[in-house]
Structure 1
Amino acid sequence: MSFRIAPAALPETSVKSTYDTTHADFGNHDALRYGTRSIKSEVLPGHPLEHRLNKWQETQWELKLNMARQAYGMHAPIKMMMETETVSKRHRLPVLPSSNLHLDILMGKDETIDFEDFLNDPAMSTDMLDVHAAMEHKLNLKV
């Protein structure tokens, strides 16, 4: 249990490895799925600020859970995790706009203005989805 406000500057593990990007049938690097391969970016660690920015939300969430555990007991973080898990699931059709305000309130994002707040306008979207095709896809996933 840690009360870390900001993430660590460097990743915890310094193991240098490359992940497998080979195509199942052909055996060489699959550039269509994984893009052009850069061994340097896979082996060398990134900038410490990049690591901090990637882990910022996770660290803030762990701090919030640990403080709730200390103040209210073990049931508070469990309840918070169950609520976020329930609210994270999409309950509408894929083509209908959804703001997910409850998740923003639970995560503490209701008091901040991010780029998603003013650039995530569905009216400006270029994606035109067919409602019937989306429902068929959703039904095929359940079967």
Structure 2
Amino acid sequence: MESPKTIPHEIGGLRNDPLRNGLHGVKSDIIGSHPLQSSYQSAKVRQEDMKKKILANTYGAAFPLKMELDCQIISKFQRPPGAIPSSFLGLEAMNGTLEDFGFQDYLNDPRELESFRPVDMHHGMEVRLGMSKGPACPSFI
């Protein structure tokens, strides 16, 4: 029997490769997220569920499904890896989060860190096309 001519790889190209991705920390596996963060996430999920129920009661059961399908389509359009990151403006407009101004908008911009290194556009496109493994944007040393 002849073996297949393809190289097996994991879905998404993510693999435990410490030379590319850095050493894996065990602390994040042991300690969960901050209690406020988990509370914020659960409140966000409840709010989205309530919004879907209201839309289903108002416009019919197919409307929330159509909106979810539209959001999935819009979220797939991205800029190629490079100097300008994807903004997902259409997705924010569709979800209604365009006017929201959270702490992530003015704090902890990864491009301002000392350990930031510019994105390698060629590596990002190779990952996107399935020719290479690893994250598309290894931006931290």
Q: How high is the TM-score relative to the length of structure 1?
A: 0.58
Aligned to 1:130: 120
Counterpart amino acid of residue 89 in structure 2:
L
Aligned to 2:80: 93
Contact 1:93–1:135 under 8 Å retained in 2: yes
1:108 partnered with 2:96: yes
CA RMSD of aligned residues (A): 3.0
User: Where in structure 2 are there 5+ consecutive unaligned residues?
Assistant: 1-22, 133-141
- Cα offset, 1:76, TM superposition: 1.0
Counterpart amino acid of residue 125 in structure 2:
M
- Cα offset, 1:80, TM superposition: 1.0
- Other structure's SS at 2:67 match: helix
- Other structure's SS at 1:110 match: coil
- Other structure's SS at 1:65 match: helix
User: Which of residues 131, 139, 142 is equivalent to 2:129?
Assistant: 139
**For 1:33 and 1:123, how far apart are their aligned partners in 2?**
22
Larger Rg, first or second structure (1 or 2) = 1
- Other structure's SS at 1:140 match: coil
Moved more, 67-76 or 107-116: 107-116
CA gap 1:107/1:51 in 2 versus in 1, 3 angstroms: same
- Aligned pair count reads 105
1:56 partnered with 2:43: yes
User: Which of residues 81, 85, 88 is equivalent to 2:68?
Assistant: 81
Identity of aligned residues (%): 30
Contact 2:81–2:120 under 8 Å retained in 1: no
- Cα offset, 1:120, TM superposition: 6.9
Q: How high is the TM-score relative to the length of structure 2?
A: 0.58
**For 1:78 and 1:105, how far apart are their aligned partners in 2?**
17
User: Where in structure 1 are there 5+ consecutive unaligned residues?
Assistant: 1-31
Contact 2:78–2:88 under 8 Å retained in 1: no
Counterpart amino acid of residue 91 in structure 2:
L
**For 1:123 and 1:33, how far apart are their aligned partners in 2?**
22
1:35 partnered with 2:22: no
